Each structure stands twice: as structure tokens, then as C-alpha cells.
Amino acid sequence: MAAQVFLDRLQARFKTAITGAHLDAIDPWIEVTPQSLVDVCTYLRDEPDLQFNFLNCISVVDYFEPDPKKAAKVDFQPHLEVVYHLGSIKYKTSIVIKVLLPRWKNDVPGNLPEVPTVSGVWSTANWHEREVFDLSGVRFTGHPDLRRILCPEDWEGHPLRKDYEMPLEYHGIRGR
């Protein structure tokens, strides 16, 4: 299985920076620490026999259940997952890298969690990270131009957070 090979390579190189892996998932993923993300990505891109030179997508999944009744039943702790889908044009392989973050930095609501930018590794990440920042509320440190991209610049909140509430009004337009 190809994913096992990638995991072995990464573990040999980065040791404790690889915090977990799910190889039996439909799309196997490998979890890395935020601090090592850029190094892992650069390694995956530059190794001659890996060449993950194509960043397909960056997504964020918010694991949080706002409804207290349902929250008692869910089997996860509140957190965010930043998901990087990578591919190799040359070898036609793919791999998923995940970074787990707290929902808020230092548990202060409104204080966005931080992860280093990979826009220096793949330029695709530039706009994708802006979109993630805009909609899911993750701050990419070192990003050259971290602004909202889809929502207006003066929009408040991050709509894809599970506890997001639509504003009552925006510039005189009724929201809900």
C-alpha cells in the first residue's frame, strides 16, 4: 500500500512530528504538527521519488457541536482539522496531510488558531488559505496577503464555523 510507504518515509525523517495516521480510511491521511508542516510539505514536494508537486485542495473541518443536547452524544473533542489534499502529476499518486488545531488560540473565543502558510511551497495555497481564513477562521502565519477573499472585507465572523450565526443586518440588509 502506497500510503504505508509515505508514512514510513515521513516517520523516518520527521520522527515525532508525525502525530498520527489513518491508513485504513477511504483516503488515507497522515497527521503532522503545525510546527513541522512546512518542512513536511517541502520534503513531499522535493523528494525525487515522491514529487507531490500539486496541491489539490485545502479544507477545514470544524468539529464542534453547538447544540448542547447533541454535544453529549458526539465522540470527538472540539477541534479544527486543516486538510491538505496533495497529488503528484508525475506519479499519479495522492496523499492527505492533516493538521489538528484548537478551535480558538489559547481557548479565547475570537482568537484565531494559527498554522504556518504553505504558500511558499505551492502557490495554489495562496488563494486557498485566504478562502479558509475567510470562511473557517484559521490564521496562516507568514502568508503574504491574508485577506478575506469571498466575503466582503468588513464581514464579521467565519461562516463555516459550526457556531457561526448569521448577522441580523449588514449595511441595512436584513440577514435573518
Partner 1 sequence: MPAVLEDQRIIEFDVRTDEMLVNMGPQHPSTHGVLRLVLRTDGEIVSETEPHIGYLHRCAEKIGENLTPRQWIPYTDRMDYLAGMNMNLGWSLVVEKLLGRNLPEKARHLRVIIAELNRIASHLVGMGAYGLDLGTFSPFLYAFREREKILDLFEEACGARLTYSYLTPGGATADLPPGWLQKCEAFLGQFEPVINEYHALLTTNAIFIKRTANIGVLTPEMAIDYGCTGPVLRGSGVDFDLRRDGEERYTEMYDGYAFEIIVQVNGHYPKDHDYPAVPREAVVGDCWHRFYVRMLEVMQSIDLVRQAMDRYSVAKGSWGEPIKLTEKLPKGEAYLETEAPRGQMGFYIVSLGNGAIPWRARARSSCFCNLSVTHELCRGCLIADVPAIVGSLDIVMGEIDR
Interface residues toward partner 1, by CB under 8 A? 25-27, 53-57, 59, 61-62, 73-74, 83, 85, 89, 92, 94, 96, 122-124, 126-127, 131, 135, 148-152, 159-160
All residues at 6 or more sequence positions from 44 whose CB lies less than 8 Å from its CB, including other chains:
6, 10, 50, 52, 86, 95, 97
**Nearer to partner 1 (CB atom), residue 9 or residue 148:** 148
**Nearer to partner 1 (CB atom), residue 62 or residue 101:** 62
Rounded to a whole number of angstroms, the minimum distance from the CB of residue 32 to partner 1 is 17
From the number of C-beta atoms within 10 Å of its C-beta (0-12, 13-18, 19+), residue 54 rates as middle
Rounded to a whole number of angstroms, the minimum distance from the CB of residue 150 to partner 1 is 4
**Nearer to partner 1 (CB atom), residue 40 or residue 80:** 80
Rounded to a whole number of angstroms, the minimum distance from the CB of residue 46 to partner 1 is 13
CA atoms within a 13 Å half-sphere pointing along the CA-CB vector of 17: 16
**Nearer to partner 1 (CB atom), residue 33 or residue 59:** 59
Separation of alpha carbons 21 and 98, rounded Å? 9
Rounded to a whole number of angstroms, the minimum distance from the CB of residue 16 to partner 1 is 25
**Nearer to partner 1 (CB atom), residue 88 or residue 111:** 88
Is residue 115 within 8 A of residue 143, CB to CB? The reply is: no
In the chain, DSSP assigns E strands to 18-22, 29-32, 54-63, 79-87, 94-101, 114-116, 139-141, 169-170, 173-174
Rounded to a whole number of angstroms, the minimum distance from the CB of residue 130 to partner 1 is 9
